[in-house]
Amino acid sequence: TVLNSYSGWALCAEGFMLDMPLLTTVGALIGCSGAALTKIMCDAMNRDIVSVILGGFGTKATGGGEAMEFTGEATMTNVEDTVKLLADSQSVIIVPGYGLAVAKGQYPLKDMVDALISQGKQVRFAIHPVAGRMPGQLNVLLAEAGVPYDIVEEMEEINDDFNETDVVLVIGANDTINSSAEDDPNSQIAGMPVLRVWNSKQVIVMKRSLAAGYAGVDNPVFLKDNTDMLLGDAKATCEKLATGVKESFGV
């Protein structure tokens, strides 16, 4: 969004130099919209605009010491066990991230959600303000697949409900669910508001690998006792989950 804003102001300056009012106007619109989006994202991540412009990851709450080191091994799971877990649960929260957008897995995910809801399960989506590459990207993605608006909730609305949730299914999200943002004052993302998925009874994290997210910070949630990792392509995995859930319910 910062680069988009820069490009707009450059276009605006070019319009002034070439005496082209239309070019100036378009550039100003791009510059202002990019600046507005940058402000929204900075507020959501608790980051100072200066650190963003200078390319730093630090937030306003970052301490001056060494960040915590996390040890342990992640527990792996498979599609069959995940299907059984979803079928046995009563409340499910799905946390989509940029990985879902890249894989374009929203359509099979919608099929799985429909199957769960048809059996009386409570299914909701939790959207972080900066999930994806810009605010609102995941909302648009889910709307495109036909997910009802009333089960898509923002972080502030749903964050306190994880304590009473049976299963949280994280799809392609990393930094937005990183507990070190709250637990480690020396973390590079310290102070950034995150979705507290680790408070639920069971967390299933779907990712391609165990690699760190965009901020380059290790995620201790992957190592917690109530977290299992389901590695693979998000779309292919969602298709298998949708098929498995339907078969388990005889839908």
Residue in 6, 107, 208, 214 annotated catalytic: 214
CB burial class (10 A; 0-12, 13-18, 19+) of residue 225?
exposed
Look up 107 and say whether it is catalytic: no
Residue in 47, 98, 124, 196 annotated catalytic: 98
* Three-class DSSP category at 26: helix
Look up 124 and say whether it is catalytic: no
Residue in 6, 47, 133, 196 annotated catalytic: 133
Look up 133 and say whether it is catalytic: yes
Q: How far apart are CA 4 and CA 74, in angstroms?
A: 38
Q: How far apart are CA 172 and CA 44, in angstroms?
A: 19
Residue spans of alpha helices (H) in 49-184: 49-53, 79-88, 98-103, 106-118, 137-144, 155-158, 180-183
Catalytic positions are 98, 133, 214
